[in-house]
Amino acid sequence: MSDSTPDIIYTKVDEAPELASASLLPIIQKFAAAAGVSVGTKDISLAGRIIATFPEVLTEDQRQSDDLAALGELVKKPEANVIKLPNISASEPQLVAAVKELQSQGYALPDYPYSPSTDEEKAVRAKYDTIKGSAVNPVLREGNSDRRAAAAVKKFAQNNPHRMGEWTADSKTRVASMPGDDFFANEVSATLPKAATAKIVLETAGGETVLKEGVSYPEGTVVDATFMSAAVLDDFLAQEIEKVKADGTLFSLHMKATMMKVSDPIIFGHAVKAWLAPVFEKYGDEMKALGVNPNAGMGDLLNRVKDNAEIMAAIEAVRAERPPMYMVDSDKGITNLHVPSDVIIDASMPALIRAGGKGWGPDGKEHDTTCVIPDNCYAPVYDEAIEFFKANGKLNPATAGTVQNLGLMAQKAEEYGSHPTTFEIPEDGTVKMVLDDGTVLHSHAVKAGDIWRSASARKAPIEDWVNLAIERQKATGYRAIFWLDATRAHDAELIAYVKPILEAKGVADKFEIMAPREATRASLETITKGENTIAITGNVLRDYLTDLFPILELATSAKMLSIVKLMNGGGLFETGAGGSAPKHVQQLQAENHLRWDSLGEFCALGESFKFLADARDNAKARVLGDAVETATQGILDNDRSPSRKVGEPDNRDSHYWFARYWAEALAAQGEDAELAAHFAPIAKALADGETAITGELAAAQGSAADLGGYYHGDPAKTASVMCPSATLNAIIG
């Protein structure tokens, strides 16, 4: 790589993973330097992205380069080697909170305009909207996904099975989805025979409005369009609230407002309005004047109306009539509908399924739960999983096989790339996608308030995805299933790509194609028998399944091996999920105990070194990578992962043991005498310093920790908190 670009990029992110980096990254850099490998950072944190977006209002000292854009260019090059930690995919409340924190630190950023009216406000809002939701992953993921449990992690989980909740046949837990007129039912799809540019227009009685123009697609792109009826959604939500009350279960809504940053917050807002329907009917205008936006959640709503006793009394009256709600934090009264980013479906549903179908109610106890997932595209996966466990009982992690995943995600594939082409329809009419030659590709009659969106998947990523699946199946011999529904418009277009490639390669007999519901059952049956399978899926299912199965198999998805084989030859190594990161930070701030487990970072690090070794013919890097695997196994075998309780070993302790096992493995190996000699004294110092180091780490716990900020902490304060052992610091340098 060039002199200015490090050999390995380690991303600067947010919350618990970034706190852990303050402790782990100095160790990585120290060890890598011995092999002549440089490890640098690029800032893709929420705060960093905000700062980079508004240089014109900041001082010279405050400005930051646009590291996300730089990484976006790097991942298109064969020399790319990026370790990507989980970053915040910001919901609107998170973005606003980060802006307020930065403003309090002296950054003269503009306020987030909730309802922009002037051109200046609209320009500011447009800039902030580029930061919301999944702004990072589509830029960096210039390749498809290979996610699986590392062999050491899977072995440990089988030898040390985690606790599973009991499932019973009479469980009332269920999934509820719309009866139709949702994104699934209304989807249309076409594969473009040649490159094209499209515009999206809304034709109404008053004329034509251009919603979006200049949307370019290369030849072979699968282009979808669909919409969700707002009226049908509202009827469904109202009926489900009454059904839940009759069933005696908890009401819960499961969305992904962080990734589907336009459509899901709108659906979330419909649920808030449905829950408080009598209040909105009577006080809607008054609440609007107070700045209430149901899309921001009940937490924001309650804060805005708290001084109006009449509205607060009306809310309490409605609450008394509603069924109990699934709680994010029952002690603090934080409900399922408080914040759109608090209940993320790919984390919340697996946790509920692992717990035997139980969710936490406002009484602080577990109850059967109605899981409201309005759209039918992926809800059947969770519905089928629940029905499977009702019939068969809980999964046994000690004997269960594994589900690996190959996911189509490159170049903003499918719904996760749909944000710029998603619209809340302002008035009745017809939405059309019109190609540059005048062809009307897709058309939908819509009503005011409907949510219309278009998504796409390009030919090269699709073909790469199928070929990756062929490679993986050949390497493992596992049962391999394409999770594609021939009755869904988009999936039918993908099947038209998949089948000819499989047949041309002579491997069609080694693959099955099943709709997600059937594939869920087949996969659960397979792993229940102790056998293994590969789920070959689109982008959203990649996300959902690489939480669902790891949480059932391993108790967490943070320990997954996640490799993105970039299409131009580079490597992107992801370190696991960050959904529980906020709670980890809160515990650190209160008790100076960080329970974040860096096992995902360890797994990615080993793969990154080995990729570097192959790409640069660097034998020393391979020795480092092999030793990382030995150290990771040592963490698992010796139970050196963080505890959840203050006063017990935490993330910083696990980093000490990782450094020690890594140094010991390097000192003991016989492939590179120079590295062995270099690390022998380091390994001895780490072993000799055990009592002092663990004592210093233990002494740091118990009192509040000052990080200097949540979204934009002070580096010196964070380093002081995360590196409290003077003995370890002296060894690492």
If asked whether residues 241 and 128 sit together in one domain, one would say no
pLDDT on residue 579: 53
If asked whether residues 234 and 137 sit together in one domain, one would say no
Q: Give 185's contacts (C-beta < 8 A, 6+ positions apart).
A: 376
If asked whether residues 126 and 253 sit together in one domain, one would say no
Q: Are strands 479-483 and 533-537 parallel, antiparallel or unpaired?
A: parallel
Q: From CA 41, how far away is CA 8, in angstroms rounded?
A: 8
Domain final residue pick, 352, 379, 406 = 379
Mean residue pLDDT of the chain comes to 95
> Which among 221, 158, 172, 235 has a CA at the least distance from the CA of 192?
221
Q: What percent of the chain has pLDDT over 90?
A: 89
Kindly state whether residue 449 falls inside one of the protein's structural domains.
Answer: no
If asked whether residues 137 and 246 sit together in one domain, one would say no
Domain final residue pick, 349, 379, 409 = 379
Kindly state whether residue 680 falls inside one of the protein's structural domains.
Answer: yes
135-144, 546-555, 724-733: segment of lowest average pLDDT: 135-144
pLDDT on residue 1: 44
pLDDT on residue 578: 57
| 3-state class (DSSP) for residue 95 | helix
Res. 61: pLDDT tops 50 = yes
Report the pLDDT averaged over residues 684-703: 98
Q: 484: which DSSP letter?
A: -
Cβ neighbours, 10 Å, residue 699: 10
The predicted-structure confidence for 80-101, as pLDDT tens digits, reads as follows 999 999 898 888 889 999 999 9
Q: Look-up: residue for tokens 């340098």? A: 733
Res. 343: pLDDT tops 90 = no
- Structure tokens given for 575: 């370190």
For the four alpha carbons of 679, 685, 688 and 691, in that order, the dihedral sign comes to: negative
The predicted-structure confidence for 559-600, as pLDDT tens digits, reads as follows 778 888 899 999 999 986 655 567 899 999 999 999 999 998
If asked whether residues 137 and 281 sit together in one domain, one would say no
Q: Look-up: residue for tokens 């099943």? A: 514
Domain final residue pick, 360, 379, 398 = 379
Q: From CA 357, how far away is CA 523, in angstroms rounded?
A: 19
Q: From CA 317, how far away is CA 617, in angstroms rounded?
A: 70
Res. 482: pLDDT tops 60 = yes
Kindly state whether residue 215 falls inside one of the protein's structural domains.
Answer: no
The count of domains in the chain is: 2
Burial environment of residue 607 by CB neighbours within 10 A (0 to 12, 13 to 18, 19 or more): buried
The predicted-structure confidence for 494-524, as pLDDT tens digits, reads as follows 999 999 999 999 999 999 999 999 999 999 9
Q: What angle do CA 576, 422, 265 make, to 5 degrees?
A: 60
Res. 432: pLDDT tops 90 = yes
Q: What angle do CA 293, 325, 415 make, to 5 degrees?
A: 55
Q: Give 371's contacts (C-beta < 8 A, 6+ positions apart).
A: 173, 174, 175, 176, 252, 254, 349, 352, 382, 386
If asked whether residues 118 and 248 sit together in one domain, one would say no
Res. 404: pLDDT tops 80 = yes
pLDDT class of 305 with cuts at 50, 70, 90: very high
The predicted-structure confidence for 604-619, as pLDDT tens digits, reads as follows 999 999 999 999 999 9
* Contact criterion met (CB below 8 Å) for 517 and 381: yes
If asked whether residues 121 and 16 sit together in one domain, one would say yes
Res. 317: pLDDT tops 90 = yes
If asked whether residues 127 and 242 sit together in one domain, one would say no
pLDDT on residue 2: 42
Kindly state whether residue 587 falls inside one of the protein's structural domains.
Answer: yes
* Contact criterion met (CB below 8 Å) for 534 and 146: no
Residues paired with residue 143 on neighbouring β-strands, in sequence order: 566
Kindly state whether residue 480 falls inside one of the protein's structural domains.
Answer: no
* Contact criterion met (CB below 8 Å) for 345 and 256: yes
Q: Which domain holds residue 240?
A: 229-379
If asked whether residues 123 and 252 sit together in one domain, one would say no
pLDDT on residue 259: 83
The predicted-structure confidence for 644-693, as pLDDT tens digits, reads as follows 999 999 999 999 999 999 999 999 999 999 999 999 999 999 999 999 99
Report the pLDDT averaged over residues 30-34: 97
Kindly state whether residue 722 falls inside one of the protein's structural domains.
Answer: yes
Give a three-class secondary structure readout of 28-94: HHHHHHCCCCCEEEEECCHHHHHHHHCHHHCCCCCCCCCHHHHHHHHCCCCCCEEEECCCCCECHHH
Give a three-class secondary structure readout of 140-195: HCCEEEEEEECHHHHHHHHHCCCCCCCCCCCCCCEEECCCCCCHHHHCEEEECCCC
pLDDT on residue 577: 63
The predicted-structure confidence for 201-237, as pLDDT tens digits, reads as follows 999 999 999 999 999 999 999 999 999 999 999 999 9
| 3-state class (DSSP) for residue 486 | coil
pLDDT on residue 258: 82
Kindly state whether residue 353 falls inside one of the protein's structural domains.
Answer: yes
Q: What percent of the chain has pLDDT over 70?
A: 99
pLDDT on residue 30: 97
If asked whether residues 135 and 257 sit together in one domain, one would say no
The predicted-structure confidence for 440-449, as pLDDT tens digits, reads as follows 999 999 999 9
Q: From CA 92, how far away is CA 295, in angstroms rounded?
A: 9
164, amino acid identity? M
Alpha helix segments (H runs only) across 402-442: none
> Which among 370, 380, 386, 348 has a CA at the least distance from the CA of 184?
380
* Contact criterion met (CB below 8 Å) for 498 and 529: no
The predicted-structure confidence for 252-283, as pLDDT tens digits, reads as follows 999 998 888 899 999 999 999 999 999 999 99
If asked whether residues 14 and 119 sit together in one domain, one would say yes
The H or E element that residue 203 is part of is strand 196-204
Kindly state whether residue 164 falls inside one of the protein's structural domains.
Answer: no
Phi, psi of 38 (to 5 degrees): -95, 140
If asked whether residues 243 and 135 sit together in one domain, one would say no
